[in-house]
Amino acid sequence: MQEGRILAASHDGAYVIRLEGDVRLTLCTTIDDFVQHMFADPNFVSVWVDLCAVQGIDSTTLGLLAKLALKVKEKFGFVPTIYSHDPGINRLLRSMAFHRLFVLREGSCNNPADIAELPTVMGSEDSVKQKVIEAHRVLMGISEENRDRFKDLIKALERN
């Protein structure tokens, strides 16, 4: 599996975030920092997430994407879109109740010409742990199934 990476592009406040390869919690600070930067843009008008080149995606990353969707809805009043054409990734998104947070498009999206890889931002062990906890709490808030799925993980992380 290809190591995960995050790419992004923007034009006049319209953002694309593309995840590629095997995206794991090691990229959570990179994702979170970019989302904060995006929301600070006074010209922000839209965002879509491209998962078409994802080979694997962990629950921490999914939780950060869920956080993004909730914030977009709360602050800007619209529902963002996720593009994916992989049947396994689509099944995962539905099983995590992402249809409640995103418009799910089972196809490829356009490739912006100016998309570029974001430099990886390393967080401290404690800050990454806090992001993992927060991401899973967000997932738990989406559905009862997610609450049951992640409650033991949250308990274990909070004990340590």
pLDDT digits (tens, 9 = 90+) for 25-36: 899 999 999 999
% of the chain exceeding 90 in pLDDT: 88
pLDDT digits (tens, 9 = 90+) for 119-148: 999 988 999 999 999 999 999 999 999 999
CA-CA distance, 15 to 37, in Å (whole number)?
11
Short-list 24, 82, 22, CA closest to 50: 82
Model pLDDT, residue 111: 74
63 neighbors 138 (Cβ within 8 angstroms):
yes
Q: Cβ–Cβ contacts within 10 Å for residue 100, how many? A: 12
Domains of the chain: 5-159 (3.30.750.24)
